Every structure is written in C-alpha cells, then in structure tokens.
Structure 1
Amino acid sequence: MVDYEAALEYLGSFGKYQKIKFALLFVMQMPVAFHMLAMSFLAAKVDHHCVLPGLKEAGFEPKDACALNYSIPLVYDEDEDDWEFSKCTRYVDVGIYSLGNLSCPYFATTNETGGRSVEKCDQGWWYDRSQYHESIFTEFDLVCENKAMSNIAQALYMLGVLLGSVGFGQLSDIIGRKKTMLPCLILQIIFGVAAAFAPNLTSFIIFRLIVGAACLGSFLPAFVAVTEMVGTEKRTLVATWCQISFAFGLIIMALLAYLLRSWRHLQLTISLINVPMLPLWWYMIESPRWLQSQGRDKEVERIIREAAKVNGVVVPDSVFTAKKAEPKLDTRKYTVLDLVRTPNMRKRSIIIFFNWLVITMVYYGLGLNTSSLGGNDYINFALAGLVEIPALLGSIYATDYFGRRYPHSAALVLGGIACLFTPYLAPPYVAEHLNPLSITLAMIGKFAVTANFNIIYFWTAEMYPTVVRNVGVGTSSMWARVGGVISPFVLLSDTAWGPLPYLIFGVLSVTAGAIALLLPETLGVPLPETLEEGEHFGRKWPTQLGVESPGEDVALTKQVLAENKV
C-alpha cells in the first residue's frame, strides 16, 4: 500500500504543492463568512415611525420635529433616560387639514396625550433610508409586534448550520471531502439567489436555512481536507489559516455592504461570488488520507507523484510499496454516551460543551451586534473582522508557550470583562466623544473570543481519548451550533434593557473561563488512547498510591493503573 505519512518526509509537511492547494481552499471559504454574518446588514434596523397621512401635502418633511410632536405621542425610553417619539402609535386626529393648519412651533406635554386618542400605525411606517436604502427590516415591516422576526430568521439560519454540520459531515466521510463541497457550493448559489428574490419573509427564512446548511457543508470538509493534507506539526497552523480566511471574508463583507445599500443586491452578490469558485473546485485534490482509508492507493500515488514534481523532490519507490501493518481490531462501537458514562469524563465533557456553546454564542452575538456600538456600522464590522487575524495567529504562539488551559481561560475572562463594561461606555451613559472606548472594548471582546474559538478546537481533540476523539469533537461542535441558535435571542433581550445582551455575554464568558481551569493541560503530554486512560487523564490520585497526580502523564498513568489495579 501507499504510505502517505512516509511520503511527507520527502514532500515536506507543507511544501509548495500543499500551499497551492491550500490557497485554493483559502479563497473558496471566504464566501462562507459573507452568509454567516450577513444579517448584520440584510436585517439592519433603522429609525422609523408611523406614516402620517397628509404630511407631505402639508409641506412637512418626515422628520420635522414640529409635525412629529403634534402627530406622534412621546414615550419614555428607560435605556436612554429620555422621551422619544413612539415607533408604533400615532394620534388619531392627524390628516391634511390638521397638519395644514398647524402653527409651529407646537409644544405638547411629554407625559400625556392631552385627551387625544392614540391608535396603532394603520398606514405603514416611514423608515430612515439615509444609510440603509433597503433591508428586510424595512421591506417586511419587522417592527413593533414583528420585531423579533429578524432574530428568529438568524436563529433558523443557525439551525440550518447545525443540520449541515451533521448531515454533510457524515456525507464527507462517505463520498469524500471534495465531492461533498461541490453540491454545497451549488446549493449556496441556487438558494442564495432565491433568497435575494424572496417575495416574503417566510420564503427568505427557508432559503437562508438551506444556505446555512450548505455553508457548513463546504467549510467543514475543506477544513478537514486541509488538516489531512499536511504533516502533523503543521495541522494547527493550516487550521488557523482556515479560520483567518473567515476573517478576511468579514472585512470584504463590510466593503460590499457599504457599496450595496439594498439587501437584495447584497444577498445576490454574496451568492453569485461562489460562481467563480466552481472552476477552482476542479483543481482541488481529494484528501490523501481519506483516499488511503478507502483503499484507493492508485489515486494517492498519483497525488504524491504530482506533488513531488511540483515540489522538486524525488519520492522513493518504497513509499508506494510499503507493507500494510496489521491493524489493531477494536470491535466496540463508541457513542456519545461514552463521553459522559464515567465521573471524570462526564465532568470534563460538561465543561467542554459549555465552553463551546458560550464561545459560539458570544462570537456571533458580538458579530451581529456591531450596529449597536455607535459610530459607523461598516467600520465597526470591518474592525471586528480585522481583530480576528492577530487573535488567531496570537493564539497559536500563546498555546505553544503557555499551554492550552491558561491562555484559554484568560482570554474568556478578558473578553467577558470587556463585554460587561462595553454598554456603559456608550451613550447615554457617557458623552458621545467617549464612544470609541465602547467600540474598543467590544473589539477586545471579539479578539478574545476569536482566540478561544481557535484554542477550543485543538484542545478538545487533545483531551478526549483516541477511541472517542471524533465523537467528542463532533458532539462539542453540535453544542457550538446550539450557541449560534441561542445568540439572536440573547440579542433580543435588549428590548427589556439595552445593556442586557452584553451583560449576559460577559457573565457567561467569565463563568466559562473560570471552570475551564478544571480541565487538564495537554501541551507536550502524550494523549490518552482508551476510555480508561481518558477517565484518569488529569485526575487527582489518592495519596496512598504514592503519587500526587500523574493524570497528565499517560505513561505514568498506565503504570499506576497496572500496579494498583485502579
């Protein structure tokens, strides 16, 4: 059989050939970021009030303070600690005659209607289109009783992401990474374009749900293919650069949203961008390790010889005629129940799942909520993408130097504290000129949670024993998708109190960071292989065994288990 691992000794762990193939995947994954956080612009909320009959005919502008003061009741906004014009009601006796005879300035009391009757907006809403010309918020009137619908739309999109991670993840193990990506790219194009022409909110949500499933169906197989293509020592690096492609996608998304102020034009553009990706797919290679697992040695050999030619090296024939070692047979079928069957594994799994859920919830919460920070929405969104690049690269060096546990916990606590203070450094709590402090803290939170996103991936894989490693990472990823579904509803809590979403993100981040300290360190440690080793990994031992805590040394763990029949 062909020995791909041995071939890498000659090809290099990350040689020229692998870099070219990686670059193709890097470019192909950027559009995934467009769709994942597109609702920041597709569902952009703007200032609005009831349409006032006769306003234009009477010679008033839609935001004329005098006309609004006469036509719309004032309501008290606890978050702003001030009175504002109602967004959902207006006075009944408003029309061409009353407005035409209005003598300005008109002064009304702020806390009463003066006996005038009030009714709900019965002729639609006026929207401020100075920044966003058109969004699903304005087109489908997602205001008043329907204001939660944009959050529900994003939650259902993340449900599609959850379904895609499960369904297409399984498919990629069956038909291969490359073959899974093609239909997902096509689905993104078809249903992304369909969403751009959606006649109503229901069809928009359904089309976007399918796009969400397709996005994960293209991102995850590419992510796995990249890590399987390179040597072991380069896996963390290339996996991190896959995440950086997502960050670049966010920056480009901010530019596209700035240039295209209509949600239909934006949705159409981010969907059609995948069309040029289809020819790039042709030049991809299937994962050599997956091909090897399927016994398709001829294809693996072809890839190795092609790579050797590009890299300018010679691979000896012994690599292609290696004797197949007898595999260790393990007939037992491991399931998610094995992750929680024993006490130590159960405690570790609960902490890991909670960390995945919180990290994803806060990541998408901060990404979708940049418009609430004040300042320029497009710049804030681009900054949120830009800070991810140093966060991802820095997380590699931090974990190689300090280990996994302390950088992960410190980043979560730092991000949580930043979230706790962010809303209180924005108006009305501080003066307008201090708003950059709020944006800075929000970016610190995004920086920290992005670093956590990278660390938790490989740390989780290292903590679970070999026999349940795939099950452990897959189950953890599902909890991450649950966090993505919850995130829009956390953002909706701002209707109860403006700072509440950030306070929830902050408290949960600090909590997750604190309990992460209970997880074992894995840097430079031989990883557990069996469930028994996994149960005792990082565990405190009884002093009568003559050793304090060998749990993070697998060799010593095996010795103690054997000698003391633990």
Structure 2
Amino acid sequence: MAFEDLLPEVGARGRFHVLQDISLGISLIFVGCHFLIENFTAFVPEHRCRIPFLDNTSALFNVSTNLNFSSLLKLSIPLDSKGKLERCLRFSWPQWLPLSPNVTGQNRSQLETEPCVDGWVYDQSIITSSIVTEWNLVCGFQTLKSLSQSIFFAGNLVGYVTWGFLSDRFGRKWTILSSLLMVAVSSTGAFFVQSFPVYCCFRFLLGSSISGFFLCSGTMIQEWTTSQYRPLVIIIFGLCVSLGHMLLGVVTYVIQEWRKLQLVVSVPLFAFLLTIWWLPESPRWLIVHRKYDEALNVLRKVAKINGVKDENLTVEALRSTTEKELVPAQTHYTMLDLVHLSNLRTRILCLSFAGFTLGVIFYGLSLDLQYLGHNIQMLQVLLGISTLLSRLGTIFIMNHLGRRTILVAGLLLAGLFIPASVFLPQEILHVVLSMLAVNCIVVCISYNGVYATELIPTVVRNRFRGLTLLVDRVGAMLAPLVVTLRHYSPYVSPIIFAIMAITAGLVIFFFLPETQNKPMPDTMQEIEYGHSREEARPKDKRDTTVKISQF
C-alpha cells in the first residue's frame, strides 16, 4: 500500500483540505505582493538637477525678474534631444543663450555643464517617495535599483537550497512557520532602514525566506493531495499570487509613500502566523521518518475534521506504507547520473533552458511596468487581473490541449508580441501587446510545472525540481540587469527577450515529446527506451538493461 492509498481513508478532498488551502492561500496573497513591490518602492519619477537659487522658495522670491519659472529653468538646465530638461546635467552657471531662438544645438553643446552636484528634484505626482528618491538612485547610480532587485532573487536562489534541506530535516510545519516569520520580520524591517546597503540586506533575507515559504507550503499541500487534484491545487496557488499582484496595485492608489506601503503589506503576515499554526505536520514526512504514532494521530484528526470514519487507519497500515514509500529512496543517483542517458540529458537541458527563459522574461517585463505608462497603479491592477484570468484559463484547457502545444504556442506568441510592442507609437497598443506577452509567459509557467513533472522519472524528479528552481531563480536574478540595457537603447532588452522566447519554443518543439494522456515515467530505463513503461521496450534482446552508476 502506498501513502496515496491512505488519503481516501481520511477524505481525499474534504473540509480539512479546503481550510488548509485557505489558510496558506491568504498568506500567499500578501507574500506574493513582495515579488513586484519594487514597481512602487523603487519607482523612478521624472527628475532634474536641483538649482539652489530656484528650488529654494525664499531665494526665488527675491529674484528681480519677470521671467516665469519654466524659462528660469532653461537658464540653468540644458535640453535633451527631445526638447525636455536634461535629467543628469545642468549648466555650470545660469545662461542667457538658451532663451534666444537663434541658439543652435552646436552652440548649446559648447556651453559648460556639470553633474547634479546639489542633488535632484523629483516629480511627486505619481509616487510621493521611493528608495530612488530617498537615496538618489538616478543618473550615475541608476543601476543600483536593478542591483537591489537582483539581490532579492539571489536570496530566492539561496533560500530554495537552504529551506529545502531544513524542510526535509525538521519537517514541513515548522519550516513553514519559521520562513513566514522571517518574511514578516525582514519585510517589516525594511521599513526602518536608513541606508541603501542595509535595505539590500533585508531584501536578500526577504527573498530567501519567501522562497522557503513557497517551497515548504507547496510541498505540504502536495503531500496532502492526491494526484487527481494536484494540478488544480498548483494553479490555485498561482491564482493567490495573481491576487497579491492585483492587491498591490489597489493599495498603491491610497498609499504612495514607500515606507508606509512596505509596512502595510508586511504587518498582516504576523497575524497569518496564527492562522496557519493549527496546520498538522505532513504525515508522509512522519512516515518516512518512521514516526508512526504521530502520523496516525494526524491522520485521525484530519479524518475527524472531514467527517470520515477511520477504522482502517492502523500502525500496521502505516508501516506497510513505509515499504512502498522508501523503495525509490533505496537507490541514490548522483548529478552525473542525470546526464548519463542521452534522452534524459536532452529533457533536462531543454526544460532548464525553458525555465531560465520564463524567469528572465516574466520578471523582466513585470518589474518594468512604469515603462508602459504613467498610471503605474492601473497597470499593476491590470497585470494582476489578466494573470488571474490566464491562470483560470489553464484549468479549462490543460486537459484538452497538449502540454507541448501550449508551451510552444505561448513562447512563440510572446516572442512576437514583445518586439511588436516596442515599435508601436500608440501607448494603448503598447500596453495591450506587453500584457499579452506577460500572460503568454504566465500560461507557460503554469504548464511548465506539470510538463516537467510528466517528463522526468520518479526516481530523480525531486532532484530535478530543485535544479529547475535554481535555474529559474538565476533567470529572475538576471532579468533586472537585462532591463538596465534599456538605458542605452530601448530596443536591446525586448529583442533579447524575443530571441530567448522564440528559441525556447523551437527547442521544446523539436526535442521534447508530448505527454498528454501518457503515464509518468518511474525509472531511468523508461526514459532511455521511451516516455513511459508502456513504450519502454529494449531495442536489442541482448541489451535489456541500462547501466547507471549507483553510490
């Protein structure tokens, strides 16, 4: 008997599972806000050099001239190629030449300029304050904004490794509580910081703890869920993240100061510690660690919540489950074994590249919303609503269209929408095509998790899952750095995203098989001979085994 055979004994999908999903799902809504919160807390407003004699109101009052303020600015700040005030330069001393209509561009270029030595003045009409305005992360320091975002995703990467080990060692429940507490503390702590380096440290801690909460809560949910409902639960978790993105946009209509916003989306996490405290430990983890009495108590408690009789739940049943659960664990594979077989190696390389591409494109587009328009709050809400609908749509089409078909179509369409949006002058079309590209990627992300699970054999599936999570976080970490190329040319980063999307789509189409309505492979041999045990047939009667190094 396998553990999954025991779940119907306590209710495969009862009241307990609904309460568990709600408890963790509400927490995920607020945790999900922190992935894109720097769209607002790191917002870059319009800015120009500070001119002391103009921006000091008392000094301005004493200027004996009938010139208006706009004309006075042109005396002190040169104009760029678009006729707007330069963001990072000013004249070394006020010039009367720019007021003359006969002044050519060559004459202006000969005027002596200097950097903004007295600081900057920022437009506060959209966001009143951000880390950019507080620590002047503009002009020569503009790349520091992207650095803080990359540091957050670097924390994600470290967190997946660290919390995965802690979860296997100390159990799911306590790592969920610990990681959520760390999320609450590190995100709230960012409210109090007074320097940018310290802020980056808190963002790193926040990134690592968020990945721990996502990893451990996802594992807990899946270990309590039968294979029939597992894809649905994964999509529901994705919906909670989309709700978090939407909530973030709504809140910023009211709160436009970065510290207050940071506090508002962080403090509720302390309350959610109480709402998930009641969750029992994963019985699957207890059984694997031979804690049969505790596992039996947990299962009986859940059966009572679900209103199911538990006459068949005994210690003997749990012991028989152990024999089944530990069979795959008796053979240990190294990382070299993952690339030993040609078919498995191809699948791992293709899926890793696809995961890397999805991470780069999704965060590269969704963390650069202000490039799409001035109403960033509306854009954030639109992003949340559209991704919510996209994830809902995957529920209905997942079992009707092939995994590979949807992945290839989504990546190719994204590769077409991204560059097309750049060359369109109309802002509305630019927004529509960019949102379509993001949602194509969101659909691909939802499908990629299921597709990868169906392509990799059971004996190395968890090891591969850890590898793909690392590759995905590397992509997310590099995404803000790719976006910084926009400062040199507005076409570079979109073209990079488009090339990656189209390449990933073609790689999946030519090198990976379709898995719809096919059983998942369990052993390495099945991968070498075919997709599943039904297709696994020795190519030669004299060669009926595949040699794998075991340690």
Q: TM-score, normalised to structure 2's length?
A: 0.91
In structure 1, distance between residues paired with 2:72 and 2:432: 38
Q: Cα distance, 1:500 vs. partner?
A: 2.4
The equivalences for 1:513-528 within 5 A come to 513-517=505-509, 518-528=511-521
Q: Tell me the CA shift for residue 116 of structure 1.
A: 3.2
The letter of the residue matching 2:120 is: W
Letter in 2 for 1:556: E
Query: Compared with structure 1, are the counterparts of its residues 504 and 62 closer, same or farther at alpha carbon in structure 2 (3 Å cutoff)?
Result: farther
CA apart distance, 1:115: 4.7
Q: Which amino acid aligns with 2:89?
A: T
Q: Which residue of 1 aligns with 2:474?
A: 482
Residue type at the aligned position of 2:497: F
Matches within 5 A, 1:218-257: 218-257=213-252
| Aligned positions, number | 534
Matches within 5 A, 1:36-51: 36-51=35-50
Q: 1:562 to 1:272 in 2, by over 3 A?
A: farther
Contact 1:49–1:87 at 8 Å: present in 2 too?
yes
Post-superposition shift, 1:106? Answer: 7.6
- Alpha-carbon distance in 1 for matches of 2:68, 2:284: 63
| Residue pair 1:69, 1:107 contacting (<8 A) in 2 also | no
Query: Is 2:452 the partner of 1:447?
Result: no
Q: Which one-letter code corresponds to 1:267 in the other structure?
A: Q
Structure 2 partner of 1:58 = 60
Over aligned residue pairs, what C-alpha RMSD do you find?
2.5
Moved beyond 6 Å, runs of 4+: 60-63, 102-107
Once the two structures are superposed, residues 284-312 of structure 1 have per-residue CA deviations (whole angstroms, 9 ceiling, x without a partner) of 22222222212222232223222222322
Paired residue type of 1:334: Y
Q: Give the AA of the match of 2:260.
A: H
Report how far residue 370 of structure 1 moved.
Answer: 1.1
Q: For residues 525 and 561 of structure 1, do their structure 2 counterparts lie closer, same or farther at Cα, with a shift above 3 Å needed?
A: farther
Find the residue that maps to 1:126 and give its secondary structure.
strand
Structure 1 residue 221 displacement after superposition: 0.5
Task: Name 1:501's counterpart in structure 2.
Answer: 493
Q: Is the 8 A contact 2:177 2:277 kept in 1?
A: no
Superposition deviation, residue 563 in structure 1: 6.8
Could you tell me which residue of structure 1 aligns to residue 548 of structure 2?
A: none
CA contact (8 A) 1:69 1:108 kept: no
Is 2:361 the partner of 1:362? Answer: yes
State the Cα deviation string for residues 528-565 of structure 1 (Å, max 9, x = none): 222222233xxxxxxxxxxxxxx234223235465764
- 1:557 is matched with 536
Quote the residue 1:280 is aligned against: 275
| Structure 2 gap segments, 5+ residues each | 546-551
- Whether the 8 Å contact between 2:10 and 2:300 is mirrored in structure 1 is no
Match of 1:386 in 2: 385
Equivalent residues of 2:172, 2:216 under 8 A apart: yes
Partner of 2:185: 190
Corresponding letter in the other structure for 1:139:
E
Q: Which residue of 1 aligns with 2:84?
A: 84
What is the Cα deviation at residue 519 of structure 1? 0.8
Q: 1:505 is paired with a residue of what secondary structure?
A: helix
**What does 1:290-305 align with in structure 2 at a 5 Å threshold?**
290-305=285-300
SS in 2 for 1:552: coil
SS at match of 1:387: helix
AA paired with 1:310? I
1:312-370 residue CA offsets vs partner (Å, 9 max, x unmatched): 22222355542616454765421222222232222221111110001011111111111
Deviation at 1:128, TM superposition (A): 0.8
- Is the contact made by 1:403 and 1:523 (CA closer than 8 Å) also made in structure 2? yes
**1:66 touches 1:106 (CA, 8 Å); kept in 2?**
no
Q: What amino acid maps onto 2:5 in structure 1? A: A
For 2:452 and 2:288, how far apart are their aligned partners in 1?
24
Structure 1 gap ranges (5+) = 77-81, 537-550
> TM-score with structure 1 length normalisation?
0.89
Partners of 2:392 and 2:525 in 1: CA distance: 35
> Counterpart of 1:152?
147
Partners in 1 of 2:173 and 2:328 — Cα distance? 29
Partners of 2:473 and 2:73 in 1: CA distance: 44
